Amino acid sequence: MNLRTVANDAGFEATRRFKRSLVASRPDLQPSARRKNLQDSNVPLYPCIDSQGMNVKSVAEIRREYGRIVATGGGGDESVSIEQLVTVRGRIRNYRDVSSKLIFYDLVQDGEKLQVVVNCARVGGEREEFRRISMLTRIGDVVSVTGYPGRTKAGELSIFATAHLQLLAPSLHAPPQAILDPETRFQNRHVDLMIRPEAGQILRLRSHIIQHIRDFFISRDFVEVQTPILSDTFGGAVAKPFLTEATSTYRGKQLTLRVAPELWLKRLVIGGLDRVFEIGAQFRNEGIDNTHNPEFTTCEFYQAYMGLEDIISTTEQLLSGMARRVLELKATKLKDLPEIATDFTAPFQRLEFIPTLEAAMGHKLPILHGSTEVVTLELLSLFKILSLPPPPILTIPRLLGKLSSAYLEPQCMAPTFITNHPEALSPLSKTSLVHNQRVSLRVELFVGGKELVNAYEEENSPTEQRRKFVMQAGWKDEDVIGGGEDGKGVVDEAYCQALEWGLPPTGGWGIGIDRLVMIFAGAERITEVLAFGGLRGAVNLGSGARDAKKEGEEGE
């Protein structure tokens, strides 16, 4: 067993006991020993890239240009094109010693794999020297190789090297086969991406999905904008904000990270930008679970003179087209991602909130726009009849939300629009009277039992909007709102004043991009679709890296 094999096997071991015994018996496998070995061999560890006079190509370009070509020459049964040398760079994912004179490498670059054949006869030199130089590279190293494109006897498209691999950046640690602990995995995301192709493909899928959304709206004459992330007020969603304080300009003033861009975007519609959208990060100081992270990405759009049916149709067009695009990507570039069973063929199923909920419970709801105290008591009585534990915070929106999650959302595994929500759940949408209940002109799209889209016909009456803000403040949901007495600090008076200038009849929605990627990637946790696993992958990163380094050094 040679040095490289031992080092690579060390990375594949699952137990710390083996790692400790290995480092005790083979101290030459430690990172410091690897570095010294390379220096003693006069190998430049981190050379500058020199592409002058070279025909440098990416792995993808080589596959495109030479994938269908059957060249001649090279001798034996190998088919090698000797018309032009090419240079390719990437990371060694695997290697196979066929003999002391022949080595096959799997080189990975930007998610694409290519085989490299290093043959002593083609490279030149004595067998011992060939072996010594080849032994300097290991799995995980970043290298450059120059050679001729061709096919092996087995028909594999390969680069037949004319010189030894040039080391561009050594991996001083042997890459593990897997990282089982999720927190360790995301605190060492660079290693996770290196060893799990599907992890990188999820991030590529995310990029394609965001680009599809952007192209969809741009093609419909929308203007993409960026609205403030920091301000002294927050609105657009019932959520608890992150708070900070200015230290220079507006020194001592409390500021918040935005929870949603909605109110800013509707100000732009008032100003004459009839079609606007924004893709960006939102921040809510709330819990973490499989579908929630305090920092998350949304797309929100607003269009003047757009009704609820127009919004539904637009949503179906966007997601149906996206599903087709994802299917194409999984068939070509993202082959490690699973197929999904969800059918996004329009039209989607629709359920009306109150009648469907009442049918599922077998009980009628009280008139929800009555006295807050009376409605709350009647809803609590209903919870008792249903033997359903109430939520920790006893507001009308919280109580209705709990009923919805118990009886409505389980009916929404296929793409489903829930319509006509009670007014209490939607303080920013228009309302009407349906079945003797005040309901909002709102739809939510659920997929797999989880909310994906929240859409409104926007409230554009400053008087009604102010009344709804006050109603919202009256629920005293301090855990979310953080407001003071009589709604102070909750009623966004500046927004109400902006409405006095006249917001055209407007429709729009917000879509959770992280959840959207989860659906199309077949991921069960939001951490899988975030570049660094969300907050858990970004906090205590220093200690996580030190622990990983310590374990890695023990394992080498």
CATH of the domain at 106: 2.40.50.140
- Per-residue confidence at 216, pLDDT binned at 50, 70, 90? very high
Residue 281 β-bridge partners: 297
Q: Which domain holds residue 353?
A: 195-540
Instruction: Please give the pLDDT value at position 81.
Output: 65
- Written as six digits, the tokens of 489 are 């600090």
- The total of structural domains in the chain comes to 2
- Per-residue confidence at 344, pLDDT binned at 50, 70, 90? very high
The Cα 439–Cα 423 span in angstroms is 5
152 CB-near residues (< 8 Å, 6+ apart):
78, 115, 117, 158
Residues 285 and 383 in one domain: yes
Residue 418 β-bridge partners: 351, 444
- Per-residue confidence at 481, pLDDT binned at 50, 70, 90? very low
Residue 97 β-bridge partners: 103
Answer whether 0.85 is exceeded by the pTM.
yes
Instruction: Please give the pLDDT value at position 477.
Output: 57
Residue-wise pLDDT for 418-467, tens only, equals 999 999 898 888 999 998 999 999 999 999 999 999 999 999 999 999 98
Residues 215 and 155 in one domain: no
**13 is a domain residue:** no
Residue ending a domain, choose from 169, 203, 223: 169
Residues 441 and 355 in one domain: yes
Q: Lowest-pLDDT range, 217-231, 338-352, 489-503?
A: 489-503
- Answer whether residue 83 shows pLDDT above 80: no
**526 is a domain residue:** yes
Residue 243 β-bridge partners: 256
- Answer whether residue 486 shows pLDDT above 50: no
Where residue 379 sits, what CATH number does that domain have? 3.30.930.10
DSSP 384-407: HHHT-PPPSS--HHHHHHHHIIII
Average of per-residue pLDDT across 18-47: 71
Instruction: Please give the pLDDT value at position 79.
Output: 67
What are the start-end ranges of the H helices in 41-106? 59-66
Considering only CA atoms, which of 441, 209, 215, 212 is closest in space to residue 311? 441
Residues 414 and 532 in one domain: yes
The Cα 114–Cα 44 span in angstroms is 25
The Cα 11–Cα 548 span in angstroms is 12
- Answer whether residue 77 shows pLDDT above 80: no
β-strand 349-352 against 295-304: which pairing, if any?
unpaired
Residue ending a domain, choose from 101, 134, 169: 169
Considering only CA atoms, which of 13, 5, 22, 115 is closest in space to residue 67? 115
- Answer whether residue 236 shows pLDDT above 80: no
Average of per-residue pLDDT across 404-430: 93
Residues 261 and 382 in one domain: yes
Q: What is the mean pLDDT of the chain?
A: 87
CA atoms within 13 A on the CB side of 336: 12
β-strand 254-257 against 230-231: which pairing, if any?
antiparallel
Rounded percentage of the chain residues whose pLDDT exceeds 70:
87
- Answer whether residue 25 shows pLDDT above 70: no
Residue ending a domain, choose from 152, 169, 186: 169
Instruction: Please give the pLDDT value at position 26.
Output: 52
Instruction: Please give the pLDDT value at position 538.
Output: 82
Instruction: Please give the pLDDT value at position 471.
Output: 81
Angstrom CA distances, 67 to 62, 91, 427, stand at 7, 21, 58
33 CB-near residues (< 8 Å, 6+ apart):
27
- Per-residue confidence at 476, pLDDT binned at 50, 70, 90? low
**185 is a domain residue:** no
The Cα 209–Cα 213 span in angstroms is 6
Instruction: Please give the pLDDT value at position 239.
Output: 80
- Written as six digits, the tokens of 207 are 């990029």
- Answer whether residue 379 shows pLDDT above 90: yes
Which residue matches tokens 């400790």?
A: 20
Q: How many residues does the chain have?
A: 556
**246 is a domain residue:** yes
Burial of 66 from C-beta contacts in 10 A (0-12 / 13-18 / 19+):
buried
The Cα 247–Cα 427 span in angstroms is 34
Residue-wise pLDDT for 240-251, tens only, equals 899 998 888 888
Instruction: Please give the pLDDT value at position 553.
Output: 45
Phi first, then psi, for residue 166 (nearest 5°) are -90, 125
Residue-wise pLDDT for 124-144, tens only, equals 989 899 999 998 999 999 999
Residues 148 and 240 in one domain: no
Residues 117 and 161 in one domain: yes
- Written as six digits, the tokens of 349 are 């199923």
Considering only CA atoms, which of 217, 311, 318, 299 is closest in space to residue 513? 299
Angle of helix 16-25 relative to helix 541-555, nearest 10 degrees, comes to: 60
Angstrom CA distances, 112 to 63, 115, 201, 275, 520, stand at 9, 10, 11, 39, 21
Q: Lowest-pLDDT range, 208-222, 360-374, 500-514, 537-551?
A: 537-551
**6 is a domain residue:** no
DSSP 509-530: EEEEHHHHHHHHHT-SSGGGGS
Residues 374 and 430 in one domain: yes
- Answer whether residue 23 shows pLDDT above 80: no
**175 is a domain residue:** no
- Answer whether residue 551 shows pLDDT above 60: no
- CA dihedral for 361, 363, 369, 370, sign (positive or negative): negative
Instruction: Please give the pLDDT value at position 389.
Output: 96
Residue-wise pLDDT for 304-333, tens only, equals 999 999 999 999 999 999 999 999 999 999
Residues 201 and 98 in one domain: no
Number of neighbouring beta carbons within 10 Å of residue 488: 9
**7 is a domain residue:** no
- Written as six digits, the tokens of 107 are 């080189």
- Answer whether residue 59 shows pLDDT above 80: yes
Residue-wise pLDDT for 271-312, tens only, equals 999 999 999 999 999 888 999 999 999 999 999 999 999 999
Residues 307 and 446 in one domain: yes
**177 is a domain residue:** no
Residues 404 and 301 in one domain: yes
Residues 247 and 108 in one domain: no
CA angle at 25 for the pair 19 and 27, rounded to the nearest 5°? 85
Rounded percentage of the chain residues whose pLDDT exceeds 90:
63
